A and B are shown apart, each in its own frame.
Chain A
Amino acid sequence: MSDSNSTVRWTLNGTEVENEAGMTIMEAAKVHGVDIPQFCYHPGLSIAGNCRICMVESNRSPKPVISCSERIAEGLEIKTQSEVAVDARNSVMEFQLINHPLDCPVCDKAGECVLQDHSYEHGPDRSRFVEDKNIRHTKELGPTIDIWGNRCIVCTRCVRFCDEISGTGELCVVERGDRSVVDVFPGVPIDNSLAGNTVDICPVGALISSDFKYEARVWNMDKTSSVCGGCSRGCNVEVETLDGFVKRLTPRENLDVNDWWMCDHGRYGWRHLYADSRLEGAQHDGQAVSPTGTSGALHQLLSSSSSTAFLVDPFMTCEELHLVRSIANSLGGSTIAGWLPAAGTEENFPGGFKISADKHPNRKGAEHVLGGDLFTTSADQLKSALSNGSIDTLVAFVGGDGFEGAGGEWNDLISKAGKRIVFATQQGSWCEGADLVIPATAPLEKEGVWVNEDDRAQRTRSCRSLTSNHFPSELVVLQELQVHMEQRNRPLSAAGIFRELSEASDAFSGHSHSSLGDSGSPLSQRPAAMSSEGGQS
């Protein structure tokens, strides 16, 4: 007996199973580990039911039904591997491939192509089609999107995305039958902040990112599960690199943050990692310092300082900020303040996606580690201390993509400190005349935890870009400084520092890198019974 009428009992491949009422056959089958192939279906979009690849045999229909839109019902019997179902899939595959070119060797989608996978699994090994294939347009649809019309199987995922998620409606299917293909209205290109997602959801190589085109074969790239540093939303991303060079960013599914999507600002906003102005080595009074000597030079400057202030930025991870706090504490009488270098505007989309106006990925985290008045009262106090000349040594952090000239008032104030130490990603005005310049890691190169605007802690991982391999990260330099100061025996990993932070701070208590995992967790949701176990890293 079902405990309520919200549960449905049905039969899947001969086994009686139960699922919540209202689920589609495809969703319910997935719960029981049965994957049904799909082209047009996407969990984030409306159901179109036009590709027919998901057909299964049903006891309620003389013909196979499409499992993406058909819902489960009491007594329904579904077979996904019967002759009828397999035959249906094979026939659909043969139709899908009639006009599809065999250009996988030069197609950017190859290796992550749904059509390729399904063709391998369900398709015929040769074509019976002897007629000429249809030729359709290959052209630019917008500044970042190209279409190879011949490859299009008209699943309309991209069209539905533009209608439902971005709400911009630039795409449509033109013509009909085997001439139909995705297009834009003449003179109205696809140009919205979410356009890049249409390439991700294209199940074939029809929509291609002009940014990634011909850049790499997808199976050769290394993938790092990280978090976008473009705004305080903290979209989960996959950073894909080839030989230490980032080739592209793709969104990573996280239904609590970004669903399946990410914005184009984040997607294409990684080129600053390889900017010509990028700092790759420390400099002490204009002289190069070796990577191993950086912390020594830092220690030397700080130990002779009578009063020290730290100016942190909200791109730093909670671990780095925690290290700054303990260093400042042991120096005694030093102050910490934060500055907010980036500005932006908020964008909201009908599909629920939001691009935050706050362009700082760890503003919330910085406030948790160093106090809620870090960017307000503390900043004002540091400003006045700097202008009366009462700061002997200033340690300033300039993360992100450098933010040349974004400092406003700070630009003039920082030169009023007796000595200046700058951790910077790029050569800029703050580095000029500094006593010690130390190269800093940029977003996507950092290892640690960021807290997004919804108070959700998420792990950002380093994609180990070639640039950041040339110098020790701030996390290492700051810990080596602690070794010099006899506060620490040896440097730990980011996970180790986070454990220290979670023990020291109420906001983070109970959390660890392993409990945060790949998708993060709201800070208020403490993992159950982790504290007594310990030993996480």
Chain B
Amino acid sequence: MTVTETLAFSDEAMKKYEWLLSRYPTRKAALLPTLRIAESEFGELGVPQMKYVADLMEIPPATVFGVVTFYTHYRRAGVGKYHLQVCSTLSCALRGSGDVVSRVTERLGIGVGETSECGLFTLSKVECLGSCDTAPVIQCNDDYHEGLSLEDVDALIEQLRQEAGKGGA
């Protein structure tokens, strides 16, 4: 996603933002969901996007920066089209999440925290995704892929590649 010079929420997003404000005791408290809106509006949360949110909410940009970098689940600048977040907490670790990470690394040629050259995939190791009963789990953008075998991982990558191809990316 390219960054245009004038970032702004669409009317619809702005309406949603104002509705959010009415549901929180302070403006600052609405930061997390507002960042979600910004994410879907702008595709990623880079420096200009964080600045826009800070100005919109009238809070220091450093506060936004701290919050965005604290959580793993926001799409920070430079993240590929598909963000593969492999849960590596206890249940998943016992059920082989380490092998899942190795498999992704092998197939895509990227390490943890890296983005593939084609710009499609970013691999992250994250803490508990709250789906221990179906370990091991990969969260790809907003979707969970559960109970993965290594073959499932291959299939997932293949499916995502095809999807991207169809979308004309």
Could you tell me which A residues sit within 8 Å of B by CB distance? Answer: 163, 168-176, 180, 183-188
The 5 closest A-B pairs by CB, nearest first: A169-B60, A172-B66, A172-B62, A185-B61, A174-B69
- CB-based contact A185/B70 at 8 Å: no
Give the residues in chain B near A169, CB-CB below 8 Å: 59-60, 62-63
Give the residues in chain B near A173, CB-CB below 8 Å: 66, 70
Could you tell me which B residues sit within 8 Å of A by CB distance? Answer: 47, 50-51, 54, 59-66, 69-71
Q: Closest CB-CB distance, B85 to chain A, in whole Å?
A: 15
Given known contacts A175-B70, A176-B70, A185 and B59 CB-to-CB distance under 8 angstroms: no
| Separation of A172 and B54 alpha carbons in the complex (Å) | 13
| Separation of A20 and B39 alpha carbons in the complex (Å) | 50
Give the residues in chain A near B70, CB-CB below 8 Å: 173-176, 180
Give the residues in chain B near A176, CB-CB below 8 Å: 69-71
Q: Closest CB-CB distance, A173 to chain B, in whole Å?
A: 5
Q: Closest CB-CB distance, A198 to chain B, in whole Å?
A: 13
Give the residues in chain B near A163, CB-CB below 8 Å: 60
| Separation of A169 and B62 alpha carbons in the complex (Å) | 7
21 CB contacts below 8 A, A to B, read: A169-B62, A170-B62, A171-B62, A172-B62, A172-B63, A172-B66, A174-B69, A176-B69, A176-B70, A183-B62, A183-B65, A184-B62, A185-B47, A185-B51, A185-B54, A185-B60, A185-B61, A185-B62, A185-B64, A186-B65, A187-B47
- CB-based contact A174/B47 at 8 Å: no
Given contacts A172-B65, A174-B66, 13 further A-B contacts (CB under 8 A): A168-B60, A169-B62, A170-B60, A173-B66, A173-B70, A174-B70, A176-B71, A183-B62, A184-B62, A185-B54, A185-B61, A185-B64, A188-B62
| Separation of A174 and B64 alpha carbons in the complex (Å) | 10
Give the residues in chain B near A168, CB-CB below 8 Å: 60
| Separation of A169 and B61 alpha carbons in the complex (Å) | 8
Give the residues in chain A near B69, CB-CB below 8 Å: 174-176
| Separation of A183 and B47 alpha carbons in the complex (Å) | 14
Give the residues in chain B near A185, CB-CB below 8 Å: 47, 50-51, 54, 60-62, 64-65
| Separation of A180 and B70 alpha carbons in the complex (Å) | 8
Give the residues in chain B near A188, CB-CB below 8 Å: 60-62
Closest to A180 in B: B70
Q: Closest CB-CB distance, B101 to chain A, in whole Å?
A: 18
Give the residues in chain B near A174, CB-CB below 8 Å: 65-66, 69-70
A163, A168, A172: residue with the most chain B Cβ atoms closer than 10 Å: A172
Give the residues in chain A near B51, CB-CB below 8 Å: 185
Give the residues in chain B near A180, CB-CB below 8 Å: 70
